Structures are given as structure tokens and as C-alpha cells.
Amino acid sequence: MFIIDYLKEVGGAVKSLLKGMRRTGYYFTHHKEIITEQYPDNKATLNLAQRFKGEVVMPHDEKNEHRCTGCTACELACPNGTIKVITQFVMTPEGKKKKAIDKLVYHLELCTMCNLCVIACPSDAIVMAQTFEHSVFDRSKLTKILNNPDSKIMDGVE
Amino acid sequence: MYRNTDIINEGSQSPSFGEAGDLVINVGPQHPATHGVLHLVITLNGETIKKVEPHLGYIHRSIEKMCESLTYRQFIYVTSRMDYLSSHINNHACALCVEKGMQIEVPERAQVIRVLMDELTRIASHELWWGAMAMDIGAFTPFFHAFRERETINEIMEDTCGARLTMNYMVPGGVMADIHPEFQKKVKGFITLFKSKVDEYAELLTGNIIFKNRMKDVGVLSKEDAISFGCTGPVARGSGVSCDIRKWYPYEIYDKLDFEEIIETAGDSLARYMVRLREMKQSVRIIEQLIDNIPEGDFQAKTKAVLKLPKGEFYSRVETARGEFGVYIVSEGATTPYRIKFRSPGFSNLSALDHMARGSKLGDLVAMMGTLDLVIPDIDR
């Protein structure tokens, strides 16, 4: 009786192994079902999700104008101290003093892409960009100034 | 210093060393089978395990202390870094706790989206566990099969939440953004794909005789021990303990949903394995019920600009892929919490490892650790 049980077990083992190997054989002969992406080679055709959180950027229009009022809502919303808003007072054409941003400093090396600054912004001045290759040779290159030099605030954004 | 063999030969009675003739080996902190920086000091007699002593602290980031300096909106993202495989469910627990304190009504649409995302995360987590556990005990192919299906979920997450692993999609009062227009189509596509592939899993691994012999009667945890060690999730349910938070303390819309709590009574590694495999099918069942019935409405409740929890203590718990995850907030009425405590499932589940490993062979330890589904940053916040 022991011999029969033993042989049954061996038979079952061979059967289960063959079952698994059938799966392996199936994919060995069906190349089209393999979904490997050849990453650096397919860079041109790579489709990233629209909402992908890569880094914070400040979009500028063709007149080099942004929408940031310097209200520091993003700075307060950030959990890591990634964003620092440096403001200055500029003279408006009417001769009034007005607060505007001098620099919006963004530390990419501290950023966790949590999106809290973007949803906190009342004037939609900052958005998430879809870039994802952030490696650089020098750490100081990760500290970015988001507003372009000599950029101004758009008309009508308060 | 404590690995000095002289001390062992002298027969020191120090708890770390054991008796004369025992061999003390270290598994980890850099060991591929521990999936992270878990350090196990194992006392062996020949090849039989006499004692397993987990040493923690290699990935301690003092997340609980960090949360004390973050506001109630900000602290949620940190919990993604604990159990990174069910980060969405961790965030859910935090959002629930803040909502409980602030008494925010979450719109029904947001609740449905949250549950859908939770279940997708649960499937993704179990898929990764299935592949990684199979690889631990020597089957390499399942890893690729599991990651292929998991990739589909990751793409769905990327579309809607903007990230693949640390989504940070939950905010107090709802979710951060509405679902992607193609969300429903993609999820339905995933369900059809998953249903055709889940039988493949059984063919590849579950029925395999080598796999069965390595899992059966290995790491047996009785029902009483599972309760006394505080095990939750699939580990406890594999030992016959009914502990699904979704059934016992339903949150969001789980009480209206039709799904089973999976319980196996054997208590060995195979039982824990089967619980997770069957749980994936239940998650698919929940998604199928909801995916066509996402109600219209807001995805986020209107909340105050600055959240201040009233003075008091708040606790909320959810069922993550690994077990019960609890968030305990003590508030002094300020914008930041006075104290936060996280009850993570991995820590309690790990504590049972010593008990179940005693007396078994060293090779079986990997199978036990695999079916405990340990995520080290969750154990060691």
C-alpha cells in the first residue's frame, strides 16, 4: 500500500510540474503577449499620464508673465519646506507700492511630489510637470528658481 | 561584540546567546529574503531553530514624532512611507480619523472612489506579495506574472492619482481630484484580465507539489496564539480568527457591499497563502459592484482652510492588505496634533515569527516570513 501511495505522489508531482511548464511553454511561443518596454529606446514614444507628478513648475505665457501673487499659500502647505517664496515691493504704474515675488525657490531634492502646494494655490500659478529624470551631477542644480528672470505677474490676477 | 563565539562556548545564559553548542547566525539586515532591513538573530541547534530574535531600528524615521510638527492636511502623506504597498489605505485611515474629529461628511462619490482605490491597492499589494514570496522560496517565474498584472493597476493609479506607489490621493473630506475619464474603462479592462490570469496563478504555483510540500504544516500558528500575539489580517484569518475590520467595524460604504471574509483554519503557511489568493477575488467582487455605480456629486467636501481638531482623542482603523491599521490622534485644539500613534499590522505579525519558527528547520523560516507578508518600513516606522 505504501508503494502505491508513493507512486501516486510521484505521478501527481510530475503532473503538477508539467502543468506549470505548460504555462511557461505558452509564453515561450506567444511573443506578442510579452509586454516588456525597452525604456531608453522608446523614449520618443513614451506616454506618461497627464496627472503624473514629476516636479513643480510655474507656467509662463509668451509675454513672460506668470500667475503667482506671492501669497505664500504653497509655502505654508508644503510639509517639507520645499518651497520658499521671496517677495519684494514693486512700484505700479499708478505709483503705488505692490507686493510681488522676487524669487520662488523650489528645492527638488526635498520634494515628495505630494501635490499639496498645487491644490493650495489660489491662482493656479504652479502645476506639476511630467518630467521624471531628475538625476544631476551637482546637488546645487536641484535648487530651482521657478519664475523666469524679469517675469511679471499677469494682468487681472489678484 | 555580542557575536563573540567565546561567550557562546562558555555556555552563557544571556538571553541572546543560548546554551553551549548553539550556533547564532544573523539573517539581515541586508538579506534578500527579508525584503528590507530586518535583522533576525537566529539561535540554531544544528539546523533546528531554537529562537528567532528580530532586531529593529534600521529604518526608523520617527514618523510619529514628525507628524507632531505637521498640520492635519500635511501628515497624511507621511503614512504612505510606512506600508508603501498599501499606502492608499494608510492615507485612508488618517483621513478618516481627521474627519471623525472635525465631523466632516464625506460625499458618497468620494466614499465610492476611496473604496475602489483601496481594493485596487489591496490587489496590487497581494500580487506583489505573491510574486515576491514565490521568489523567496525559489520559484522565479511567478514574480514576472504577478508584476505584469500589478503594472495595470499601477497605470490606473498613475492616471488618477498621479503617482504609482505613494499616491497621496486622500485629503480630509474626500479625495484630491476626480477620477480620470478613462478610469472605469481601464478598471473593467483590468478585471477581465485579472480573472483570466488568476487561474494561471493556481496552475503555476498553488498546485505545484514542491511548493505545497514547502508550505504545508510549516509555521503553524494556532488560533489562540494568533489572538495573543495581536495578529491581524490574512495572518490571523489563516488561523481561523475572524478579524476583518471591513466586516466588524465597517467604514465608508463597506457595510452595504456584498463580500465574504476569507477564513482558513489550518493556521500554516499554505492557509495564509490561500487566504490572500482568495481575498484578491473578493476585492475584484467589490470592485465589480461599484465600478458601474459611482454616484454623481462632489469628490470632496467643503472644509475649512485651516483644520483644527477639537480637544480630545480620536481613533480610527482600517483593514490594509496586511491587517488592522489604526491611527490614534491626541489633540490639544491646535493646528498640529499633540501626539500621533500608528498601530501598524506588520509589527504585531512579526512578533509571532519567533513562536511559529521554534523547532522548525532554518529553510522553512523563509516560507514563514514570506507568508507573514512583512513590509519593514511598516514594522519600524
Nearest CA in chain B to A132: B163
Residue A65 lies in a domain: yes
Q: Are A66 and A115 within one domain?
A: yes
Could you tell me where the beta strands, DSSP code E, fall in B298-354?
312-319, 324-331, 339-343
Q: Are A14 and A84 within one domain?
A: no
Every domain of chain B and the residues it spans: 5-55, 63-379
Q: Are A77 and A21 within one domain?
A: no
Question: Left if phi > 0, otherwise alpha if psi is -120 to 50, otherwise beta: which for B34?
Answer: alpha
Q: Are A24 and A59 within one domain?
A: no
Element at A4 (helix H, strand E): helix A2-29
Q: Are A22 and A60 within one domain?
A: no
Summarize pLDDT for B15-61 with one digit per residue, the tens. 455 566 788 888 878 877 777 788 888 888 888 888 888 888 888 88
Residues 6 or more apart whose Cβ sits within 8 Å of residue B26: B3, B39, B40, B41, B42
Q: From CA B325, how far away is CA B321, in angstroms rounded?
A: 9
Q: What Cα–Cα distance (Å) separates residue B255 from each residue in B88, B249, B250, B270, B362?
A: 20, 9, 5, 29, 43
The CATH number of whichever domain residue A143 belongs to comes to: 3.30.70.3270
Cα R_g (chain A), whole angstroms: 28
Q: Are A77 and A133 within one domain?
A: yes
Residue B162 touches partner A, C-beta closer than 8 Å: yes
**Least CB–CB distance from A128: residue in B159, B162, B180:** B162
What does DSSP say about strands B312-319 and B324-331: parallel, antiparallel, or unpaired? antiparallel
- The parent domain of residue A63 ranges over 55-152
Q: Integer distance in angstroms from the first to the last C-alpha of chain A?
A: 90
Contact B70 A16 (CB under 8 A): no
Contact A49 B73 (CB under 8 A): no
| pLDDT computed for residue B20 by the predictor | 67
Residue A141 lies in a domain: yes
Q: Are A63 and A18 within one domain?
A: no
| Percentage of the residues of chain A whose pLDDT score is greater than 70 | 99
Q: Are A136 and A92 within one domain?
A: yes
Residue A50 lies in a domain: no
DSSP state of B181: T
Across chain A, mean pLDDT equals 84
Q: Are A31 and A89 within one domain?
A: no
Give the fold, CATH level 3, of B63-379: Cytochrome-c3 Hydrogenase; chain B (1.10.645)
Residue A46 lies in a domain: no
Residue A48 lies in a domain: no
Residue A96 lies in a domain: yes
Summarize pLDDT for B182-204 with one digit per residue, the tens. 888 989 999 998 888 888 887 77
Q: Are A25 and A59 within one domain?
A: no
Say whether pLDDT at A61 is over 60.
yes
Over residues A92-103, the mean pLDDT reads 78
Contact A114 B210 (CB under 8 A): no
Nearest CA in chain B to A27: B145
Residue B148 touches partner A, C-beta closer than 8 Å: yes
Number of domains observed in the structure of chain A: 2
Residue A45 lies in a domain: no
Cα R_g (chain B), whole angstroms: 22
Take residue A72 and report the three cell numbers written for it.
Answer: 505664500
| pLDDT computed for residue B19 by the predictor | 63
**Quick check: B188 and B155 in contact, CB under 8 A?**
no
Residue A100 lies in a domain: yes
* pLDDT tens track, chain B, 381 positions: 344 444 444 444 444 555 667 888 888 788 777 777 888 888 888 888 888 888 888 888 888 898 898 888 888 888 888 888 888 899 999 999 998 888 888 888 899 999 999 999 999 999 899 988 888 888 888 888 888 888 888 888 888 888 888 888 888 888 888 888 888 898 999 999 888 888 888 777 887 888 888 888 888 888 898 899 989 989 999 888 888 888 888 888 888 888 888 888 888 888 988 898 888 888 998 998 888 888 888 888 888 888 888 888 999 999 988 889 999 999 988 888 899 999 888 888 888 888 888 888 888 888 888 888 888 888 888
Q: Are A69 and A105 within one domain?
A: yes
**Which residues in chain B are closer than 8 Å to A50, comparing Cβ atoms?**
159
Q: Are A69 and A22 within one domain?
A: no
ipTM value for the complex = 0.81
